[in-house]
Amino acid sequence: MPTARELAIQHWNVTPLLVPEDTRYSVYPWLYEAAEFRRHQGEDVLEIGCGAGCDLLQFARHGARAVGVDVTPEHLRLARERVAGQAEVREGDATALPFPDHSFDYVYSHGVLHHIDQPRRVVEEIFRVLRPDGRFNVQVYAFWSLAHLAYRLKHGRHWKLHVENSRDPVHIELYSARQLRRLFAPAELMIRKYGCHYLQQAGWLLGWMLVAKGEASKGTAEPQHLERRFTTAGS
């Protein structure tokens, strides 16, 4: 039986996620602000699972020292081609990041954690590579969503084969806010749900993506402190 890592490599080597920037940010109109592309000028930013480099390029354009890692050779090739030296792209597994402790101010990952079968190892790696005042932003598929219901009603027990950009199997784990908080403990999380592809305005209720933000070193922080910080950041 292939591992989740092997499935991901097989899947996206055949059908890499290469889309134009205007397409990506029209399908995900909330992503530019939710990812905080504009807010990390002069900081060391790591993207876990950078794919073909679209989001990584946005961090670099706005002044971050951006580094992206991915396990898929075709994604690595496409990402390096896209960023054209504006960001660093490295082969790397999310469960064993190839960086020293306390290397980054901000760790970002969109649509990756739910494809990994050892998510707590990823969380521990995020905590390890973040600096004491660093922050993370992890975005995953939501269990409680209209999209999840629609996939199940349309495709039955094989619905997971219809979620990604080909029928090649890939590991998919859906998350609730409670599961995310348990997974990232002791860090406090601010979680918001967003729409995807349709019903954008109802994303807070029915959306397909959960965006979880937190500070690795603030596991005992008051929730009100995090609320003030993220509200100020415009999340």
Phi-psi region of 112 (alpha: psi -120 to 50; beta: other; left: phi over 0): alpha
CA 172 to chain centre: 14
Q: What are the tokens at 118?
A: 């050892």
User: What is the average pLDDT score of the chain?
Assistant: 88
pLDDT digits (tens, 9 = 90+) for 167-222: 899 999 999 999 999 999 999 999 999 875 555 565 666 788 999 999 987 643 33
**CATH label, 4-226, candidates 3.40.50.720, 3.90.1300.10, 3.40.50.150, 3.20.20.60:** 3.40.50.150
For 28, other C-beta atoms within 10 Å of its C-beta total: 21
Top-confidence residue, 165 or 10: 10
**Contact present, 132 and 102 (Cβ < 8 Å):** yes
Parse the chain into domains and list their residue ranges: 4-226
Q: What is the mean pLDDT of residues 64-78?
A: 98
Give yes or no for residue 61 having a pLDDT over 60: yes
64, with CB counted inside 10 A (0-12, 13-18, 19+), is buried
Tell me if residue 79 falls in helix, strand or coil. helix
For the stretch 87-142, pLDDT in tens is 999 999 999 999 999 999 999 999 999 999 999 999 999 999 999 999 999 999 99
Angstrom CA distances, 20 to 82, 188, 197, stand at 10, 35, 16
Assess whether pLDDT exceeds 50 at residue 233.
no
